[in-house]
Amino acid sequence: ERKNSPNPELTGNPVPSALSELMNSGWTSGEELGTDGETGAPPKWEKMIKMLVHEVTTLRNQQFVEEFQKPVEEISSFSQHQVPSTPPHLSKTLCSTSNKEACLQEISRGLQVYQLLLQHVKAEYPQSTLLPSVTHQTTVLIGLVKDQMKVAEVVEDLSASERKRVLGEVSTGTEWERKTSVHAILRELRNFLVDTKRALRRMAKRGKDFQ
């Protein structure tokens, strides 16, 4: 008999695509962070991140089982493996500042780095059918975060040298090290998304006081 997954994100109905969700939700670039009108329903960004966390978790578990030939219940035994030379702004507490604009910039920069690291995931785990959706949704989420900024141009795209450095640090090493890097990237991306959700929730609760 098949055991139930220990991850709640892996249960329930299939997750719709981010694009269809956004088209149906009525999200607009000018919409403020907060609940949906008078219904008290979760805001659109929260639904978006929830879908992405679900898919990243599923992808992480699939890669772990297929690449390491171990049951998902043993995934915690790989917690010591880290993303090589994690960029400084990804290793600190997300949005420790009370400045809304700075927080959004921090989230956007972090997502850009993970968006780049997903290229390494693609190179090392090309058989994944879920990765294209994760990559697309990450791109969409970056756009949604930038839409909330007063000056989105402040967050520049990673330079060619930065991209080369980030990818170079994870693409070297033995086959085992590259596989564990993929696992660490997916695990830390999931953690970053969860932290992002918490930070945006705090921002929404503070409202106008979160300046």
Question: pLDDT (tens digit, 9 = 90+) per residue, 54-105?
Answer: 999 999 999 999 999 999 999 988 888 887 656 555 656 677 777 888 888 8
Q: Tell me the C-alpha distance between 136 and 143, whole Å.
A: 11
From CA 59, how far away is CA 110, in angstroms rounded? 19
Residue 28: left if φ>0, alpha if ψ -120 to 50, beta else—which one?
A: beta
Model pLDDT for residues 17-49, shown as the tens digit of each residue: 444 443 343 333 333 444 444 444 566 778 889
CATH topology of domain 43-69+96-211: Growth Hormone; Chain: A; (1.20.1250)
The torsion angle over the Cα atoms of residues 200, 204, 210 and 211, rounded to 10 degrees, is 80
- How many other C-beta atoms are found inside a 10 Å radius of the C-beta of residue 42? 15
Give residue-wise pLDDT tens across range 110-161: 999 999 999 999 999 999 999 999 999 999 999 888 888 887 777 777 778 8
* Residue 203 tokens, joined: 């921002």
The upper half-sphere exposure of residue 27, i.e. CA atoms within 13 Å in the direction of its Cβ, equals 25
Q: Is the dihedral of CA 187, 192, 197, 202 positive or negative?
A: positive
Confidence check: pLDDT of 15 > 70: no
